[in-house]
Amino acid sequence: MTSPKSQYFRLFLLRHANAAWPEPGGRDFDRALDRKGQADIRDVAVRAYAAGYQPDRLIASPARRCRETAQAILDVFGSLTANYDQTLYDQGPEAYCRLIEGHAQEPSVMIVGHNPMIEALAAQILTEQPGELAFGYPTAGLLVVDFQRPLRLSQGAGVIVDMIAPL
């Protein structure tokens, strides 16, 4: 399925892939993906594409590890472009909700962000957590959730379609 039916809004919630620790004196914002992260996000992107998932919009934190995660998605999906929003780096889950709700007219949106915000948002919108989240939201983990319209990011409003975690 390439996009959800028009009565649904599809959210792709992607935590950035595994990143290296900052260099001495380096900033958290500038942390790059490590080799594991690069391999993991490539795996997740290929599996998501093979499953027929096609977000209409991709919005990512501008932090380097999120930009590199988003680029791996763009490399696999081809026709997609990325937008970057600082609130995904320096604000909490409420800001994630406002950003998503601001794009509720779209058929689907992929958010590339950080923990603990991604995990808190998943806990907020789902009644049941998938098994892959039993020990926390994995790096490069992609949660696919459908919502009925009008979009409400309230407790239990989301229906899990899929969870793709690195192998």
pLDDT tens digit string along 102-115?
999 999 999 999 99
Provide the whole-model pTM.
0.93
Alpha helices in the chain (DSSP H): 35-50, 64-77, 87-90, 93-101, 117-125
Rounded Cα distance, 55 and 49, in Å = 10
The domains found in the chain, sorted by start residue, are 8-105+116-141+151-164 (3.40.50.1240)
In one letter, which amino acid is 158? G
Tens-digit pLDDT profile for residues 49-91: 999 999 999 999 999 999 999 999 999 998 899 999 999 999 9
Amino acid 129: pLDDT: 76
> DSSP character for 112?
E
The answer to whether residue 43 scores a pLDDT higher than 60 is: yes
Residue pLDDT, tens place only, 20-33: 988 888 899 999 99
